[in-house]
Amino acid sequence: MQNLKVDIVVMGSGGAGLTAAVTALDYGASVACFEKRPFQAGSVSNCAIGVTAVKNDPRYQAAAFNSIFNYTNYNGDPGVIKAWINNTWRILPFMDKVGAKYKLRAELPLEKVGKGEAGGFPPQTRIGDAYYMIGRGKGHGSAIVALQSRRYFEAHGGQFFVDTPIVDIFTEGGKVCGVLAKHNKTGEEYKVECKAVIVASGGFGNDREMIKKYIGHNYTDNNCSNGGDVLFNFFPTETMTGDGHKLCWKLGGAKGGMGINGHNLVPGPGIIGNTPWIAYDETRVMEEQPYFWVNKNGERFVDESQSSNHMAMGTSIARQPGKMGYIIYDDDTREYLETHGPDFEYFIFQAEHLHDIKGQFERLAKLGNEHAFMTDTLEELADKAGIDKEGLLKNVARYNYYCDQGRDGDFSKDPKFMRPVRKGPFYALRVFNAGYSTVGGIKVNGRMEVINDDGKPIPGLYSAGDCMVGELWGNPPVGGIGNYSHALGFGFTAADSACEYIGIKEEEL
């Protein structure tokens, strides 16, 4: 048993945890950061390449705040929304400080805040300047930011423990007073006395019961074979079990809104790897095209010009029976994709033209992928893909009628994306929701203080990152809601509040 005494303990070393740890350290607090896995970075080790930063200018911040609060149908907590938006400018000096490089990708003029063109995200959520983080090799920038934050933290007196999850948080007279951590391999216990704890333990993508109970989805493997409907493949681990949620709830913390951040994906061998950047084939690009989507009953369920909008597709697929959708091409469109090229670009794989789609489908079949189909007739496609035959034939005829008329009588889709589904062979992809991580569950206020059902803070208990970001939305939609700047903005805020609480920093009004 080791005994320690620090001002602040941080639980988790992802985007939010390390940002809070470094920020608190620089205010002069003594900080210990406990990481359950053998390394730093949490879920940002595997994804984020860009970040949003709203200018440190009240006009931009007010426009961004109103756009987001309105867009959540006012379900989001305005204090939490403000904490994110008003602290994103700090990302740039933070990256300079820890030595991570970035470059401006697109500046957003004031009049365009929340009103940009749609692209892959709802216009109301495009609220700040877009920066691209410079990664190393074929990797993604956020892994470097996390690594450099850890190096800075350790070099400036921060105590960093890997393989050592926090197993309990202690209180005295209702106030946080310490934690107990335990090394995964050696079993060594660390009894830490502290004044404040910042819980930054991320999502609970590996806890099947929590996913079913709180989000209503069934966890499944990468092949979506066990009748499940959400896979957490982007972030291949088995450690995300909501430890922070359980401890905060045990201490009386209320349950906040919960959802899934990720986006729609064709599962199964030959399509997805460990990290989303590596394209085994061009299904990711084919799935983003604004052509013809149906559900299990063969019915269209969305204006397909939203196909590249991950919130629109994630939420729409989650509403369909079996929580799955199919995108179907005929041979003319297959040829169009190979000659003219795709209408929508998928921002990760830029492909002018697609290549030998027939060959790619044959390869997937050879690898045993059960979610890509190539058939000569629609009847055969219905049988093989498990789509209601009568529904499919009726709705393909209806859609072709509208294509010939050059208007979409059902969902007012832009006629230029109306491609009939007529000439075999037919190509179809079955698409599920892929969770990158779960979002939300720990209820906090705008100071990142963990609050109970009565809105009262639990003194000394703070939270930041995926585990609390549901409060930004209230009842989070499915998909397309993740933003690396959340983790950073909330990390800064949690550190500020904790340092004000322990009395080493004044609150700036």
Q: Which spans of this chain sit near other proteins (rule: CB under 8 A)?
A: 37-41, 45-46, 135-140, 143-144, 146-147, 150, 162, 236-239, 273-275, 277-278
Q: Choose between 1 and 509: whose C-beta lies nearer to a copy of itself.
A: 509
In the complex, least distance from residue 138 CB atom to other proteins, rounded to whole angstroms: 4
CB 498 within 8 A of CB 25: no
Beta strand segments in 376-456, E: 426-439, 449-451
In the complex, least distance from residue 491 CB atom to other proteins, rounded to whole angstroms: 18
- Cα 363 from chain centroid (whole Å): 30
| Sole window of 11-19, 69-77, 175-183, 431-439 interacting with a copy of itself (rule: CB under 8 A) | 69-77
CB 150 within 8 A of CB 165: no
Distance CA 469, CA 379 (A): 45
Query: Between the CA atoms of 126, 127, 129 and 130, what dihedral angle is there, to the nearest 10 degrees?
Result: -30
In the complex, least distance from residue 503 CB atom to a copy of itself, rounded to whole angstroms: 17
| Sole window of 134-142, 214-222, 244-252, 309-317 interacting with a copy of itself (rule: CB under 8 A) | 309-317
Distance CA 161, CA 497 (A): 23
| Sole window of 3-11, 41-49, 77-85, 269-277 interacting with a copy of itself (rule: CB under 8 A) | 77-85
Residue 119 tokens read as 């692209």
Q: Choose between 44 and 318: whose C-beta lies nearer to other proteins.
A: 44
Those residues whose C-beta lies under 8 Å from the C-beta of residue 106, and which sit 6 or more positions away, are: 129, 130
Q: Choose between 188 and 410: whose C-beta lies nearer to a copy of itself.
A: 410
Site string for a copy of itself, 321-340 (x = CB under 8 A): xx------------------
Among 43, 124, 369, 483, binds a copy of itself (CB under 8 A): 124
- Strands in 8-11's sheet, in edge-to-edge order, are 159-161, 31-34, 8-11, 196-199, 457-463, 449-451
Q: Choose between 12 and 441: whose C-beta lies nearer to a copy of itself.
A: 441
Site string for a copy of itself, 423-452 (x = CB under 8 A): ----------------------xx------
Beta bridge partners of 474: none
| Sole window of 58-66, 210-218, 222-230, 342-350 interacting with a copy of itself (rule: CB under 8 A) | 58-66
Distance CA 131, CA 55 (A): 12
CB 409 within 8 A of CB 387: no
The one-letter amino acid at 392 = L
Residue 125 tokens read as 């959520």
CB 301 within 8 A of CB 200: no
CB 267 within 8 A of CB 431: no
Distance CA 90, CA 26 (A): 14
In the complex, least distance from residue 312 CB atom to a copy of itself, rounded to whole angstroms: 4
Those residues whose C-beta lies under 8 Å from the C-beta of residue 469, and which sit 6 or more positions away, are: 261, 439, 440, 476, 481, 486, 490
CB under 5 to 8 A by kind: which of other proteins, a copy of itself, none does 454 bind?
Answer: a copy of itself
State residue 238 phi and psi, 5-degree precision: -125, 20
Site size toward a copy of itself (CB under 8 A) is 54
In the complex, least distance from residue 418 CB atom to a copy of itself, rounded to whole angstroms: 13
Is 69 a binding residue for a copy of itself by CB under 8 A? The answer is yes
In the complex, least distance from residue 98 CB atom to other proteins, rounded to whole angstroms: 13
* 58 cis-preceded (ω within 30 degrees of 0): no
| Sole window of 128-136, 234-242, 335-343, 470-478 interacting with a copy of itself (rule: CB under 8 A) | 470-478
Among 358, 401, 416, 423, binds a copy of itself (CB under 8 A): 401
Among 393, 475, 504, 505, binds a copy of itself (CB under 8 A): 475
Residue 39, number of CB atoms within 10 A of its CB: 13
Is 393 a binding residue for a copy of itself by CB under 8 A? The answer is no
Q: Choose between 269 and 446: whose C-beta lies nearer to a copy of itself.
A: 446
| Residue ranges binding a copy of itself (CB under 8 A) | 58, 61-62, 65-66, 69-75, 77-79, 82, 122-124, 295-297, 299, 301-303, 306, 309, 311-312, 315-316, 319-322, 398, 401-402, 407, 409-412, 445-446, 453-456, 474-475, 477, 509
